[in-house]
Chains A and B, each alone.
Chain A
Amino acid sequence: MNIQVKNLSKRFKDNIAVNKINFTIEENKTVGLLGANGCGKTTSIGMLLGLITPSEGEIIINNKNLEQIDRVSILNRMNFASPYVELPKKLTVKQNLEVYGRLYGVEHLENKINELSKDLNIDIFLNKKTGELSSGQKNRVTLAKSLINDPEILFLDEPTASLDPDTGDYVRGYIESYKKRKKVTILLASHNMSEVERLCDSIIMMKRGKIIDEGTCQEMIKKHGRKNLEETFLKLARSEDEI
Chain B
Amino acid sequence: MRFSRIYALSLRHIYLISSSLPRIIDLIYWPTVQIFLWGFISKFFTLNSDYYSNTVGVILTAAILYDFLFRASISYNIMFLEEIWSRNFTNLFIAPIKISEIITSLTVTAIFRTLIGLIPASILAIPLFGVSIFELGIPLFFLMISLYIFGVTLGLLVTSGLLRFGPSFENIAWASLFFLAPLGCIYYPITILPETLQIIAKALPLVHIFEEMRNILLTNSVNMYEIVKSICISLIYFAIGVIVFYMSYFGAKKNGTLINMGE
Contact = CB atoms under 8 A, between A and B. Distances in A.
Interface of A: 10, 12, 17, 42-43, 46, 49-53, 71-73, 75-76, 78-80, 82, 84-92, 95, 98-100, 102-105, 145
Contact of B91 (A50, A73, A85, A105): A85
Given A52-B258, A105-B5, A75 B253 contact: no
B256 A99 contact: no
Nearest to B87: A86
B15 A91 contact: yes
Contact of A10 (B16, B256, B258): B256
B98 interface: yes
Nearest to A102: B8
Contact of A103 (B8, B16, B253): B8
B144 interface: no
Contacts of B255: 12
A89 B83 CA distance: 10
B11 A53 contact: no
B137 interface: no
Contact of A46 (B12, B20, B259): B259
Contacts of B9: 99, 103
A102 B6 CA distance: 9
B86 A99 contact: no
Contact of A104 (B12, B15, B96, B254): B96
A91 B94 contact: no
Interface in B1-47: 2, 4-5, 7-9, 11-12, 15-16, 19-20
B250 A53 contact: yes
By Cβ-Cβ distance, the 6 closest A-B pairs, closest first, are: A102-B8, A75-B96, A76-B96, A86-B87, A46-B259, A85-B90
B115 interface: no
Contacts of A89: 86
A103 B96 contact: yes
Contacts of A53: 250, 253-254
A53 B257 CA distance: 11
B15 A84 contact: no
Interface in B233-263: 250, 253-256, 258-260
B96 A105 contact: yes
Contacts of A88: 12, 16, 82-83, 86, 88
Interface hub of A50, A52, A84 (most chain B Cβ within 10 A): A52
Contacts of A82: 90
A88 B90 CA distance: 12
A89 to B, nearest CB: 5
B: interface residue count bin: 20 to 34
Contacts, number: 106
B169 to A, nearest CB: 19
B95 interface: yes
Contacts of B256: 10, 12, 17, 43, 46, 51-52
B93 interface: yes
Contacts of B89: 85
Given A85-B88, A87-B91, 10 more contacts: A50-B253, A51-B94, A53-B250, A78-B94, A84-B87, A85-B89, A88-B16, A88-B83, A90-B86, A103-B96
A87 B94 contact: no
A51 B93 contact: yes
B97 interface: yes
B86 A51 contact: no
A185 to B, nearest CB: 16
B94 A75 contact: yes
9 contacts: A46-B259, A49-B94, A53-B254, A85-B91, A102-B7, A103-B95, A104-B96, A105-B4, A145-B91
A80 B94 contact: yes
A102 to B, nearest CB: 3
Contact of A99 (B15, B19, B90, B96): B15
A203 to B, nearest CB: 22
B258 to A, nearest CB: 4
A87 B96 contact: no
A103 B90 contact: no
A73 B2 CA distance: 13
A14 to B, nearest CB: 14
A86 B258 CA distance: 14
Contacts of B83: 88
Given A88-B12, A89-B86, A103 B5 contact: yes
Contacts of A80: 90-91, 94
B91 A91 contact: no
B254 to A, nearest CB: 5
